Structure 1
Amino acid sequence: MEQNGRNRVFRSEDRSTVIDVLAYFGKDSHLTRGRFVRSPFRDERTPSFHITPNGRGWKDFGDGSGGGVIDLVMRLAGCDRLRAIRILSEMEGTDWTPAPAAPCRNFQRKQGGSRPSTIVSAGPFTSGVLLEYSRSRGISQAVLEKYCTEVTAEFAGGKGKRARFIGFRNNDGGFVLRSALPGSTGKRCTSSAPTFLDCDGNVSTLRSSSRVAVFEGMFDFLSFKEILSSCTLKAGTCDSCILNSVVNVPKALDYIMQHRSAYLFLDNDRAGREAAAKIMTDSDSCGCRVTDMSHAYKDYNDLNDFLCGENVQACTKIINLIKSNQDGTDTREHRGQEPCLPEIH
């Protein structure tokens, strides 16, 4: 048996599985028949990372490494054994019952299994697990705290079960809730609605700029802010529209069409393309010029994947695109043509 710094016994039966840890860090956790997934340590097409039948051991046949759950956390978090145990202990402290599940990042359009019946509290971030999760998604604490809050929610029908989430306000007065919990458990909402933010980051239904940037999910929006936070260029301001789900496109159209220009940062998948097409079609009769920005991250599913996959290079590429557009306005508006990023932050 192992103990953490608080002398709490950390028994093997308390541990999360390898799948849970992979999901927490936003890595591939879709098992093949042979219990393989793509390695979390590198980009690869053919899965070479094997998970043992009991779910608690792993072997990377690409580099020969292997171990248990704690070893995996140590390597993914770049920390020592004690810190890894504390991370796992904090994860258990959120009332998470580990279970093999798909990674939470692939459920962005499913706005919740059972919804929290009660928001118990909302305030500054104190959960190390949530901050670690945010960092694993490429989002700094400064950006996270500016636009989000820590929310403790009590689940409907959960017999008092509570968990802590990253809370992102929507225009219904509710929250979009995200955490490292696997599957739909970590993706919830108190109401299904988009989020409209003015130039100062306040929730509003009125435009404060002639331009609006449109995002599919909260982490895409936070990624955009993270990228631009490293940019020292002088840029104009814009409003932001976060759909929180592509099903909310109809609810967001009136707000988007208040603006003279809209820049779409939607996912590079079928749902994202259909949402972009819907917005573009409606803009034809409203005088709103719509520019599809998805080619800025065309090799990735979404803007957050781009940020996580490219790291510093992502910022460089985005900044270079901003620079290339400072002396003129790009007129290429439709998919199939690669536009420049607008001067917005």
Structure 2
Amino acid sequence: MNIDEIRKISLVEFLNQLGYQPTGRDSKGLWFYAPYRSERKPSFHVNPRRNLWYDFGTGAGGDIFSLAREMSGEMDFLRQADYIAEKMRLPVASSSERRFASAKNPYKPTPFVEEPTFENIEVSRLESPVLLRYLADRGIPKEIAQRYCVLVDYELHGKLYYAIGFENNAHGFELRNSFFKGSYPPKHITHIVNGNARCNVFEGFIDFLSAERLGYNDGLDTIVLNSVTNIQKAIAPLGDYTVIQCYLDNDAAGRAALARLRREFGDRVMDKSALYPSHKNLNDYLMSLYPKKSTKLKL
């Protein structure tokens, strides 16, 4: 098979071959659990008619090559083609033939804009006792939550939901509640400017709110990545700062993001994860300082 033929492989068949079955459908396509990360509720959407996918949890999307990149970690599209062919048990042209063909007709990722699946979006002040309790259980008090977050009511899969919303620079929202972690597109960073020469960097907005509770922000500017996949979008605005303080997760993705920023900005980048070395992230550390009080009756 050549590159064009591989691109036409059905994403649904590819996912089925990998062992992933749809969990539901809507008017535009099928829902799956994301095949390259863990999640409690499916937020990975495939549009079979256009043969494109979109992950509402990370904001990533594209064609079968983009999915192969996420699954395999390979950046070279010819290696992505090998990965697809191996999983689909298909023959491919030799490396030299594919290199020659790609030189004549270089691969270009399919431009992708997900058709909105969220419907009837309404944004209002965050007053929901349920959502405020969810944040309180994670150590975030009401006054901090209401300063930076809103209530987002929306319809998804034909059902009505509501969630905490945290707006990004493209006017999309990160969405959180007890059962759902996702986003309303477009996906982007959130840049909070206070006119400071120092900037804090967080992976997600819950960690940013945790830093507010702990007093770590203290008038500094802030960039919330809203996913490490947005790291490139943060490069340009971070170039204006003399000190970049990173409160990233203590995992492989967080360390990779830190390394990316250090390659770009060198000694201007400070790793603040030493403040919570035995915890996954800053919010996990905050919750250890203020554990939830049990509501169970003692017998």
State whether TM-score is above 0.5.
Answer: yes
SS where residue 154 of structure 2 aligns?
strand
Cα deviation digits, residues 26-49 of structure 1 (max 9, x gap):
xxxxxxxxxxxxxxxxxxxxxxxx
Identity, % of aligned positions:
32
**1:156-305 pair list within 5 angstroms:** 158-159=157-158, 161-181=159-179, 185-199=180-194, 208-228=195-215, 237-284=219-266, 289-305=268-284
Root-mean-square deviation (CA, aligned residues, Å) is: 2.7
- The structure 1 segments of at least 4 consecutive aligned residues displaced by more than 3 Å after TM superposition are 101-104, 112-116
Cα deviation digits, residues 167-199 of structure 1 (max 9, x gap):
001011111111111xxx442332211100012
Q: Structure 1 residue 255: deviation in Å? A: 0.8
* Counterpart-to-counterpart distance in 2, 1:297 and 1:119: 40
Could you tell me which runs of 5 or more consecutive residues in structure 1 were left unpaired when the two chains were aligned.
1-100, 200-207, 230-234, 313-345
* Counterpart-to-counterpart distance in 2, 1:189 and 1:301: 25
**1:1-345 pair list within 5 angstroms:** 110-111=57-58, 116-118=117-119, 120-155=121-156, 158-159=157-158, 161-181=159-179, 185-199=180-194, 208-228=195-215, 237-284=219-266, 289-311=268-290
Q: Structure 1 residue 236: deviation in Å? A: 5.7
| AA aligned opposite 1:131 | L
Could you tell me which runs of 5 or more consecutive residues in structure 2 were left unpaired when the two chains were aligned.
1-37, 42-55, 61-113, 292-299
Cα deviation digits, residues 2-31 of structure 1 (max 9, x gap):
xxxxxxxxxxxxxxxxxxxxxxxxxxxxxx
| AA aligned opposite 1:175 | F
The count of aligned residue pairs is: 188
Q: Indicate the larger mover: 117-126 or 240-249.
A: 117-126
SS where residue 129 of structure 1 aligns?
helix
CA pair 112-153 structure 1, distance change in 2 beyond 3 A: farther
Q: Structure 1 residue 227: deviation in Å? A: 1.1
| AA aligned opposite 1:298 | P
Q: Structure 1 residue 111: deviation in Å? A: 2.7
